[in-house]
Amino acid sequence: MNSLGTYLFISAALFSLGLLGVLQRRNLIGMLISIELMLNAANINFMAFNRFLAPEPAVGQIITLFVMSLAAAEAAIGLSIILALFRMMHSINVERAQQLKG
């Protein structure tokens, strides 16, 4: 089937797309979506190394599961911060959120 390089190339391209999104968007939800893309690219990397190189196939899958649950925690916290910010500033543009005091 496909070689390791194919999967690594796909994941590198996905990660760069996510990086472009994080750097270029000003909408906080858009940035969060791009971060999810980057996490998924890292997951593809883990699974590819697990498939082609690793001594134990179960370990890579376990790491991928952990990354997924951390991504879920991160999304929950990020979205609640976005909600709080919207109530305070009536905007979710990061360039408006320059005020740190509550």
Partner 1 sequence: MNTESFAQMAFWILVGLTFAGAAIAVFPRNILYNVLGLALALSGIGGIYLFLGSFFIAMMQLLIYVGAITVAIVFAIMLSRPLHLEIPKRAVPKVAMAAAASFLFFGAILGVLFRTQWTPATERGTDWSVETIGHLLLTRYDLVFEVISLVLLVAIIGAIVTAGFTRRLSS
Tell me how crowded residue 23 is: count the other CB atoms within 10 A of its CB. Answer: 9
When binding is defined by CB under 8 A, the residue of 42, 91, 97, 98 that contacts partner 1 is 91
Residue 100 interacting with partner 1 (CB under 8 A): no
CB 85 to partner 1: min, Å? 8
**Site size for partner 1 (CB under 8 A):** 75
Contact pattern for partner 1 over residues 23 through 62, marking x by CB under 8 A? xxxxx-xx-xxx-xx--x--xx--xx-xxxxxxxxxx-xx
Residue 71 interacting with partner 1 (CB under 8 A): yes
Indicate the residue among 69 and 98 with the shorter CB distance to partner 1: 69
CB 63 to partner 1: min, Å? 9
What sign does the dihedral 44-50-51-54 (CA atoms) show? positive
Residue identified by tokens 């543009």 is 93
**Cα 40 to Cα 59: distance, rounded to the nearest angstrom:** 17
Q: Is 90 left (phi over 0), alpha (psi -120 to 50) or beta?
A: left
